[in-house]
């Protein structure tokens, strides 16, 4: 029915199920040698299969629903008259990404750490999605605004869903590494450089949910300040700010971020998410604090 996107590891197409006419998104495994070393194609295929099979058992209102996975051996799913690639069937979302939402922030509002109802509601939902993955002992490893989808809810707010589809075909390889936008899939890494925790960059096979908390911290910082950080260097500034002396407000001012009254608790939480793993807050604590802040500000609205 149509092309939704091409990525480093796959192609995503819009389709309709034959049995009930539902519109779905189908992700075909199709690793691109321009972005992924051919020597690790087997590893990419294993990850793809694991994503499909495990994901099909996950059901949460803030996770993109994976409906089915098929090995599609010799094109069996298409009776030999179609693609032979393995594929994942997912719910189709007419939605925008959180990245586009952040980029639409008016210039005058960028850099202001503001906990508006829409932003805080989105933050609560994303954190709950990560918390749900933790309950299954799963680590997403690529939490970022481009992998979060927003669609209007019945109340006029936003329903946020975390996915992991790699639908964008990246530009120049070295430029993407420099800006932190490249999704890296190789023998030693999986994730997006700018959002990648230090331990994931060094020992990707050993990461825990604490690595997702790091990535979530950058995502929430970008959401609450209405600006996408240009590179990993800006993340290092946040790390340095957390280690520096002085008040939260002074550290944020040093980062050219204005701190509105009453936001100190969330500002401290965000900065704590950039600590070393042993000092980083748990995802349960992140969810709890965001829930409390939302109820305090908007209970009854």
Mean pLDDT taken over the chain: 82
Q: Is 142 a catalytic residue?
A: yes
Q: Residues 81, 106: one domain?
A: no
pLDDT in tens, 33-72: 776 677 767 877 887 887 788 778 888 999 999 899 999 9
**Residue 83: what pLDDT?**
87
Number of compact structural domains in the chain? 2
* Domain at 62, CATH number: 3.30.200.20
Instruction: Tell me the sheet residues that pair with 112.
Output: 258
Percent of the chain exceeding pLDDT 70 equals: 85
Task: Choose among 147, 148, 186, 144: nearest CA to 47.
Answer: 186
Identify the domain boundary among 68, 92, 116: 92
pLDDT in tens, 6-43: 777 778 888 888 788 889 989 898 877 776 677 767 87
Q: What is the DSSP string of 69-123?
A: EE--GGGGGGTTSS--S-EEEEE----EEHHHHHHTS-GGGTTEE---HHHHHHH
Cβ-based neighbours of 251, under 8 Å, separated by 6 or more: 241, 242, 244, 271
The whole domain housing 19 covers 1-92
Q: Residues 125, 180: one domain?
A: yes
Structure tokens at 246: 């002085």
Q: Residues 277, 166: one domain?
A: yes
* Domain at 202, CATH number: 1.10.510.10
Catalytically annotated residue among 6, 71, 142, 291: 142
Identify the domain boundary among 92, 126, 145: 92
Q: Residues 192, 218: one domain?
A: yes
- Please check the confidence at residue 182 and state whether its pLDDT lies above 60: no
pLDDT in tens, 235-280: 888 877 777 767 777 777 677 677 766 678 888 899 899 888 999 9
Task: Choose among 119, 118, 120, 160: nearest CA to 143.
Answer: 160
- Please check the confidence at residue 156 and state whether its pLDDT lies above 60: yes
Task: Choose among 231, 264, 272: nearest CA to 247.
Answer: 264
Q: Residues 6, 121: one domain?
A: no
Task: Choose among 125, 290, 122, 280: nearest CA to 208.
Answer: 280
Q: Residues 63, 133: one domain?
A: no
As a whole number of angstroms, the distance between CA 227 and CA 241 comes to 18
Q: Residues 86, 106: one domain?
A: no
């Amino acid at each position: 029915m149509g092309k939704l996107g091409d990525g480093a590891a796959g192609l995503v197409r819009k389709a309709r199920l034959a049995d009930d006419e539902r519109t779905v998104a189908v992700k075909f495994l199709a690793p691109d040698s321009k972005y992924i070393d051919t020597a690790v194609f087997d590893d990419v295929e294993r990850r793809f299969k694991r994503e499909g099979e495990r994901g099909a058992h996950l059901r949460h209102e803030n996770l993109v629903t994976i409906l089915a996975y098929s090995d599609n051996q010799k094109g069996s799913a298409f009776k030999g008259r179609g693609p032979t690639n393995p594929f994942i069937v997912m719910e189709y979302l007419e939605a925008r990404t959180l990245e586009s939402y952040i980029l639409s922030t008016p210039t005058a509002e960028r850099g202001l750490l503001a906990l508006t109802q829409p932003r805080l509601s989105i933050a609560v939902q994303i954190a709950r999605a990560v918390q749900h993955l933790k309950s299954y002992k799963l680590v997403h490893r690529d939490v970022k605004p481009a992998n979060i989808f927003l669609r209007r809810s019945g109340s006029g707010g936003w329903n946020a869903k975390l996915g992991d589809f790699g639908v964008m075909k990246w530009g120049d390889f070295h430029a993407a590494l420099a800006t932190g936008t490249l999704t890296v899939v190789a023998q030693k890494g999986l994730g997006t450089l700018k959002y990648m925790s230090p331990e994931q960059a060094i020992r990707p096979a050993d990461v825990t949910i604490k690595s997702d908390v790091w990535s979530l911290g950058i995502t929430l910082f970008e959401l609450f300040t209405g600006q996408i950080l240009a590179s990993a260097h800006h993340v290092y500034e946040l790390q340095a700010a957390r280690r520096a002396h002085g008040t939260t407000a002074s550290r944020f001012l040093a980062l050219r971020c204005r701190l509105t009254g009453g936001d100190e608790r969330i500002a401290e939480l965000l900065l704590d998410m950039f600590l070393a793993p042993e000092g980083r807050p748990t995802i349960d604590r992140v969810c709890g604090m965001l829930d409390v802040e939302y109820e305090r500000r908007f209970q009854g609205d």
